[in-house]
Every structure is written in structure tokens, then in C-alpha cells.
Structure 1
Amino acid sequence: VGSIDHGYLGVQIQPVTKDVADAVGLDKTGGALVAAVTADTPAAHAGLKPGDIVTSVGGEAVKTPKDLSRLVADLSPGAKKSLSVWRDGKTIDLNVTVGTNEESQKQAAAENPDAQGQSTGQPSLGIGLADLTPDVRQELNLPRSISGAVVAKVAPDKSAAAAGIQSGDVIVSVNDRPVHNARDVKTAIADAGKAGRKSVLLLVERDGNKTFVAVPFGAA
């Protein structure tokens, strides 16, 4: 029995919510947010990265993840198409050679079938952050050797509170990446989300002790 070959890219995609659009500087929702790129697939060879937002395929607009799936599936394997992608605040074009659905079956084990069910918001832990100003250091009695960002507030019903994060905690690293201010922490958390992480590992200084706390992402 002959099977119909559908085009295949090798990405996990999510909707572009308002939170996501705001986070990446898009003035409207629309497109397909790349949550993950499977290694050694047409998407990987074309240079697609997690965090990219695909806005068109071969000149046809992509408004939702379903649009992208449909447009790619309709292409013949081996077809070369230009993808318009929003990355780092600007649109770039990537050329992709579409794969076959045989490849997709081989890769299915590596793909997460629940990608669509993941939180579609920008990663959020439910914390408010502030820089370590001299006044804050004095208040918390922190030595100058400590750098990071202080937790100014914790939303009571969000994941950080559930994980035990408290106001006054100082986040000194995120996923083993040292941080120096609130912006560093936010960037590292966002990067972890783009990389498809389901949680983030924070190194927290509290009362002179350092502790690792893993905090799962919640929807913003």
C-alpha cells in the first residue's frame, strides 16, 4: 500500500501568545513559536533555533502553529522553501529543504507529542526581582562578594512560592549561569524556556547559606 509523503521539518511549535509577542518585541500575535528543534532534521540543517517565530513559508503567512504544520505537510519532500523567521528583534529568511514523513516517524521517538499542551506563556516563576543596590545589601547584611538579584516579592499561588522561594532570597545563578542583576536572571529564565526546559535551577543565597532550588515554569 502506497503512503502519501508529507513534508517534514522537525520542530516542536507553540502558539505566539500576547506574552510571547511582548517578550520578543513582535507588535502582534501570530506565527509559530519554535519550542524545540530536533537534531539532524531539515529544521536543524536550515538553522532554525528554539525561540524563533516562523511567520511565513514560501511567502504564505503563518498565523498559528496549525498553519505551519499544514503548509509544511502540503509540500513535497525535497522541496526547497524560504521561511521568514522573527529572531532577535528582526525578520530573517532561512532556506529549508523539506524532509519526508518517513523521517518524521524515525524522529517521533525523540519528539515530545505533548508539545502543543505545554504552557504557551512566556516562562514565569511568579517572582518580582530587584537589583542589589547598596541599600539592599545593607538591609540584607550581604557581603560585597555576593552578586545576583534579590527576590522582592513572591506571588503566593505561583511555582516559586511552592518551591520555597522567599522574599529577600538572593538568586546568584540560574542553571549554573552566574547572574549579576535582575535583568540577567530574567534573561537566563527566558533562555531556559526557549531551550525547552520544564523547570529552572536557581542557586539561592539565604541567611548566609546557598541552596539549589528547582522551580517549574508556570504560565505567565
Structure 2
Amino acid sequence: MSEKSTPAQRQARGPRVQAAVLAAARQELAESGFAALTVDNVARRAGVHKTTVYRRWKDRETLVTDALTEHLADRIPIPDTGAFESDLRALARAMVRSVSSIDEQGVTAALYSDAGRLPEIAAVRQGLFADRFRRATPLVTRAVERGELPEGTDPALLLKSLIAPVYLRLLVLSEPLDDALAEHAADLTLAAARAGLFRPA
């Protein structure tokens, strides 16, 4: 008869189980797409029972959102170099490297190819970008406090400008992504920000 785990053992397993489930959700999304993703398959891949998944996430949308937001937070950290220009360039390069990586391409394809026929995927994407804008807000706030950007600069508008050229090339033009694109996106966004174009009308 096996011994029951202690509270300390269960607590130690918690983060490992959560990490395994989130990784399994990303793998399922990349391989099968959002339409075919089920909590049962995620649980099976993670090696846990589905009730373990449901204790932490109420449905597959919240599971996928958490899996992607955590992943992007690790892959695209918000820099703090002491200057807005270098922060922006570092962020642009990290974003380009992340979305152009092989393992990321499957996730990106699933998020956008399913969009036309699955309305719930829009909520996942909105949650994902809202989290990115929230995390990046201090980058803009610090720049305003240092006098590098005009008062009232909207972080979300600024980030949308930075992201737009990357996703245009990735999803519309199907052209390769590289550091030159990151620098171009940063240059455009920097010039517009300094000109006060990201202050709400």
C-alpha cells in the first residue's frame, strides 16, 4: 500500500503540475489547433487527471490564455535598460525572435487560422494582447517620467504600432522576419511616440 503524500509534497508538486499542463496545452494547440484542443487531451499529455486541470482552469479558453500569456512573458520579457529607445529596440527584437521561432509558428497559425470559425478564439487573443499591453505599460511610464516621451502617451497605442509591421509580414505577406524588421518597427514607433502621435485625441 502506497503512502499518502504529505501537504508539503503536494505543495511542491503544484508548480510542476501546473507547468506540465500549460506546456501540454501549448503543444496541443500547435499540433492540433484550437478547434481540436480538449481538456482530456491536455491532461493525457501532461500525465494528470482532467479533474486536476479543471480545479485550476474553468474551461479550455482560460487554460489556453494562461498557457500563452505565461509563455510570452518568458519569451518576450519587458526590458529595462534605462533608456526608452534601447528598451523599445530590445522589445522589438525579442518579439520578432519569438514569433518567428519554429515552435511558435504552430501556435500562431492555430490562433489565426481558427479565428474565422471559432468566435471564442477572439477572447483568447484579446486576453493575450491585453496582458502584453499591461506588462509593457511600465516601459512607457518610465519613459514619460524621464522626459523621453510626451505626457499622456498611451502604452497600448504605442505597442500596437510596434506590433503591426511584424504581424503584417507574418500573417499577410508571409515574408521572413529578421532583426532589420525589428529595427524598422522600432524606428517608426519611436518617431511617432516622440512626435506625440500616441496621445489619445
TM-score scaled by length of structure 2: 0.30
Answer 1 or 2: which has greater helix percent. Answer: 2
Q: Which has the higher contact order (CA 8 A, sep 6+)?
A: 2
User: Highest CA radius of gyration, 1 or 2?
Assistant: 1
TM-score scaled by length of structure 1: 0.28
